[in-house]
Amino acid sequence: QSLWAVHEMPANEAAVEGATAAALLSIERLGARFGTFDVLSDIDLRIGRGETVALVGESGSGKSTLGRVIAGLKAPSAGRALFDGAALPPKLRQRPLELLRRIQIIYQSADTALNPRQTVRAIVGRPLTLYQGLRGAAREKRLIELLRMVELDESHAERLPGQLSGGQKQRVAIARALAAGPELIICDEITSALDKVVQADVLRMMIGLKERLGVSYLFITHDIEVVRAIADRVVVMQHGRIVEQGEKDRVFAPPHEPYTERLLASVP
Ligand code: ADP
Ligand code: MG
């Protein structure tokens, strides 16, 4: 409970901290391989507290792999990462529970991410017990608060994923990530599989949540409109390398990398 309270800070306080404090995540010269294929090379990336970094790039450029490396789901082949100033162990099983709590990942499809046999209560309740030590009435209270944060309510707690719409399933996946009490949430194309209206709702909700909770996002997307709506800073990837990064307004102002140019040109 107390851990969670720390994360609920006013928006402007979070923003000030993001601007001044040392980076929450700092990656240096990171590389990753699939066999002999260098999927990521020389990645230098910093994410401040409360900052939203949009990671953009064409399909196959390595965005999801970078997210997975940060989340501990794939081991890097080179480089190092610091989280809140301390070395981030590359493999999930080397990370203590406290560290697992602090970095959460949400995927494009809640269909594969949610256990179809578990109720929403079980799905969102598990991290509340595991990471926050909540049980019984305290857990139920927090569960309802979380469902409301993602614009669901107690009536959804009894349902199975199969009894929810696509947008509702994604909201459950978001609630599960929030239940851990994270400081960094990796969002991998979390609105891409939703229809346009639901996309806009979920995006608006994610913006509200980061302002309310002071969390940092690594927001992976290929949608420039999403970048405009949510990003503080933009990182452009191509062929496993970062080809451009900077403040959103600067990246969107000319001159651009040729790839950024094409990305911008694709927007009507
Ligand atoms: P993005 O998310 O930007 O579309 P990915 O990180 O998914 O890119 O993939 C980057 C590259 O790595 C692609 O060329 C993809 O084919 C390759 N790749 C992804 N996963 C694997 C894997 N498990 N084994 C081998 N190659 C992979
Ligand atoms: Mg991807």
As a whole number of angstroms, the distance between CA 251 and CA 260 comes to 8
Atom in ligand 1 nearest the alpha carbon of residue 34: 25
79 — phi, psi (to 5°)? 85, -175
| Average pLDDT of span 115-125 | 98
Q: Please tell me whether the peptide bond between 255 and the residue prior to it is cis, using omega within 30 degrees of 0.
A: yes
As a whole number of angstroms, the distance between CA 204 and CA 226 comes to 10
Q: Which of 36, 65, 187, 190 to mutate to test the pocket of ligand 1 (most atoms within 8 A of CB)?
A: 65
Q: For 22-68, how does the pLDDT look when each residue is reduced to its tens digit (9 = 90+)? A: 799 999 999 999 999 999 999 999 999 999 999 999 999 999 999 99
Contacts of 37 (CB under 8 A, 6+ apart): none
Q: For 157-168, how does the pLDDT look when each residue is reduced to its tens digit (9 = 90+)? A: 999 999 999 999
Q: Where are the beta strands (DSSP E) in the chain?
A: 25-34, 37-47, 52-56, 78-83, 86-87, 103-106, 184-188, 216-220, 233-238, 241-247
Q: How confident is the model at residue 221 (pLDDT cuts 50, 70, 90)?
A: very high
| Average pLDDT of span 99-110 | 96
Name residues contacting ligand 1 (CB within 6 A).
Answer: 34, 39, 57, 59-65
If we measure between CA atoms, which residue out of 62, 76, 61, 21 comes closest to residue 216? 21
Q: Which of 36, 39, 73, 77 to mutate to test the pocket of ligand 1 (most atoms within 8 A of CB)?
A: 39
As a whole number of angstroms, the distance between CA 141 and CA 163 comes to 23
